[in-house]
Amino acid sequence: MIERALLVTGAASGIGRATAVRAASAGYGVAVGTFDGDPYDAEEVVAEIIDAGGEAFAVTANVRDGDELATAVDAALTRFGRLDGAVANAGVLKLAPIDVLDDDDWNRIIDIDLTGVMRTVRAVAPHLSVGGAFVVVSSIAGAAVGWKGHTPYSAAKAGLIGFIRSAALELAPRGIRINAVLPGVIESPQSLDPVNSGGPDGLARSASTIPLGRVGQPSDVADVIGFLLSDAARYVTGQKLAIDGGLTAAWPS
């Protein structure tokens, strides 16, 4: 039986994929969360992990559906015999300035990016014991700076900071930790979308504004998530950590 196991939502691409691969390399069995209609193939992530000698399987984990998340958790427990944490990474964004933003877009983004994290933590927490850990993927957008045209995304990502601080107080008596990472400009399918995000040209322009001189990679975030999950961060909970190459050190935050 595997010694540690983890659920990662939104794990078929980008930061989620890098996190799943990184966790597997650290000895976790990984439930690679996906959803019906995901344009990326979670089985490719599973194959990468298994080819490297790790253990993983793909599981449908739609964060908009509490029952489906509960089923995903049960599948992970059946497969690995335990769960030691989760990375709540699933998220969406859409360019929607306030003057054209409708209730449906607002509600969908808040439901996935904020409420979906709550559902993930709620489903997993009862199965964790001392040493368990959550990492929530927020963003510098909303949690540290604004982002024009993305008020629902920014509101959700800011809300996650209040969520993890309060959840930390509830989970601490059980020896369970929860923290948030705030990625900056990271090259991923989401940021490469030229309609709803910066696209390749926007990423190229961003590099010159980042003190470390480059756009981040998913692995830059995954490595920090790995630290926060590990025993090396055993006395860290309720905290947020920007992974942005110094961007918010240069900007007002």
**Domain span including residue 88:** 4-250
Residue type, 89: N
Would you name the residues annotated as active-site residues?
Answer: 153
How far is the C-alpha of 57 from the C-alpha of 192, rounded, in Å? 27
pLDDT score at 130: 94
**HSE of 70 in the Cβ direction (CA atoms, 13 Å)?**
5
Q: What is the mean pLDDT of the chain?
A: 95
Number of structural domains in the chain: 1
Residues in the chain: 253
Residue type, 124: V
pLDDT in tens, 90-105: 999 999 999 999 999 9
Q: State the CATH number of the domain containing residue 19.
A: 3.40.50.720
Distance separating the N- and C-terminal Cα atoms of the chain: 45
Q: Is pLDDT at 198 greater than 80 in this prediction?
A: no
For 100, phi and psi rounded to 5 degrees? -120, 0
Q: Is pLDDT at 222 greater than 90 in this prediction?
A: yes
What pTM was computed for the model? Answer: 0.95
pLDDT score at 252: 60
pLDDT in tens, 120-146: 999 999 999 999 999 999 999 999 999
Q: Is pLDDT at 253 greater than 90 in this prediction?
A: no
